[in-house]
Amino acid sequence: MSSQALRDLVSVVRDIVMRSWAMHDLSTRWADELVEFLLAAELEDLVMGVGVLRDDDGGACGGVVGENEPFVSELLSSLSITVADLQPHQVHSFYESVGHMIQAEPLPAKRDEYLRRLMDLPNQKWAEIIGQASRSVDVLKDQDVIRTVLNILQTNTSAASSLGTYFFPQISLVFLDMLTVYRMYSELISNSIAEGGPFASKTSFVKLLRSVKRETLKLIETFIDKAEDQSHIGKQFVPPMMDPVLGDYARNLPDARESEVLSLFATIINKYKIVMMEYVPRIFEAVFQCTLEMITKNFEDYPEHRLKFFSLLRAIGTHCFQALIQLSSQQLKLVMDSIIWAFRHTERNIAETGLNLLLELLKNFQVSEFCNQFYRTYFLTIEQEIFAVLTDTFHKPGFKLHVLVLQHLFCLVDSGALTEPLWDTSTVPYPYSNNTMFVRDYTIKLLGSSFPNMSVAEITHFVTGLFESKNDPPNFKNHIRDFLVQSKEFSAQDNKDLYAEEAAAQREQERQRMLSIPGLIAPNELQDEMLDS
């Protein structure tokens, strides 16, 4: 492409961009595609101002063609004019899109300068509000001010979503003041609910305050999620949040607790893993007991807290298992009770999260020094509870995970890894030669009480088959499925959920076959799959 052609192309593209913004017709996805187009056309250096282009012979031609300043710099120079007539959501899209352009700048100093200029307008307004609040906190109670604070936070979130790690200077600038506002608004919410009762949480004033709190949490979570895995970021931002965020969650009334606190700390632990080990006891203390009391009264209240709570618990179990080992026996019992409660839940996402967490804990405890102690306490309870949901027609979607848990238990008990008896030697009337014999006998009695219409011989045959097929996952699963389908409880049911894994595998096999033949799958369907992934 010639220099003149490049000059004309940039001029046309810039004209389209500016007219689109002026018409309030900018979408984030469109802007992202524009940036990708410029990069694909080897215009990155032109956009960012380095000024290295290719001439007709493929050689480098120095200088910026027709440019007094880089495109992104020109956008930032006219920032106030560009956003003046835009609606808030359009401003947020603009900030996210320009963030993508800044993120592509290779020079750190130039990138930080662009970021400072991008955030200059919201930062000026933020500083003005914080300055007024330092003289009189009543300023922060004005609903127009609250809406402005919310808009500033949303603008920051949009920029953070595209800038990732490079948003660090900006969030560092506003972080502590942001937590101060968070704490104050939390106190206002609690006071309003305490004075006005549960109805107060439905008022427009309290809803607006909670929107600010949630956006604060969303901004922090977005930055941590998008930033590179650098432990110093976690260590810098987590300690200041302990009291304003975690302590606030623990102190608040149930109706004033934000579920985003749970998802934020799940994101933090998933991101920084074992580095967060020292903070787990404080996290556990702040959110565990009070959240359990909220969600275990029934299966309906606080739906957002339910899934996020178990996602947090799974993050701790996966990445900070040693912290769970250090819990007291009573605290560990609470953890296990909550997991059992989760997979009893009829909400599929919650049940699956609980079952996955259970599987991870079982595997971790198996290789820990507390293997005998843990399984002696919980083996029979887990087996009983898993068989309860397995044979309950309301929990058929969890069949695959039920089978995996049972397979783990039967493989473990028959491996000899458990060197202490699972039965209570002081109450069992006669001793068993090993744990396998005990579990076999216990399972026969357990299923006999659950399936009174089946003979002892049928149940014994089923249990024997469990031990014989435990090392062959497909046969183990088929053996359990056949037993369920033949039972009176399942025989009149639609049991397609029991075959969901096989159906999914068959669909994937057919999809791969179609992919191997050009034209059988439309390009737009492939693009949608790529976006979903």
Closest CA to 261 of 289, 296, 299, 220: 220
Residue 11: both structure tokens together = 């001029």
Mean pLDDT of the chain, nearest integer: 83
Ordered by start, the domain boundaries in the chain are: 3-77, 119-228, 494-533
* 372 has pLDDT over 90: yes
Averaged pLDDT for residues 158-180: 96
Residue 443, pLDDT score? 95
Closest CA to 119 of 86, 70, 168, 85: 168
Averaged pLDDT for residues 452-476: 92
- The answer to which of 14-28, 154-168, 511-525 has the lowest mean pLDDT is 14-28
* 514 has pLDDT over 50: yes
Distance CA 36, CA 32 (A): 6
Share of the chain above pLDDT 90, in %: 58
Distance CA 76, CA 91 (A): 13
Distances, alpha carbon 156 to alpha carbons 129, 163, 466, in Å? 16, 10, 56
Closest CA to 9 of 65, 75, 77: 65
* 434 has pLDDT over 80: yes
* 379 has pLDDT over 50: yes
- The answer to which of 15-19, 274-278, 479-483, 510-514 has the lowest mean pLDDT is 15-19
Residue 529, pLDDT score? 54
* 267 has pLDDT over 90: yes
Residue 467, pLDDT score? 94
Higher-confidence residue of 59 and 415: namely 415
Residues β-bridged to residue 60: 54
Closest CA to 143 of 65, 71, 206: 206
Residue 526, pLDDT score? 59
Residue 25, pLDDT score? 47
* 453 has pLDDT over 50: yes
* 47 has pLDDT over 60: no
Distance CA 475, CA 481 (A): 10
Per-residue pLDDT of 182-239, as tens digits, reads 999 999 998 888 888 878 888 999 999 999 999 999 999 999 999 987 888 888 999 9
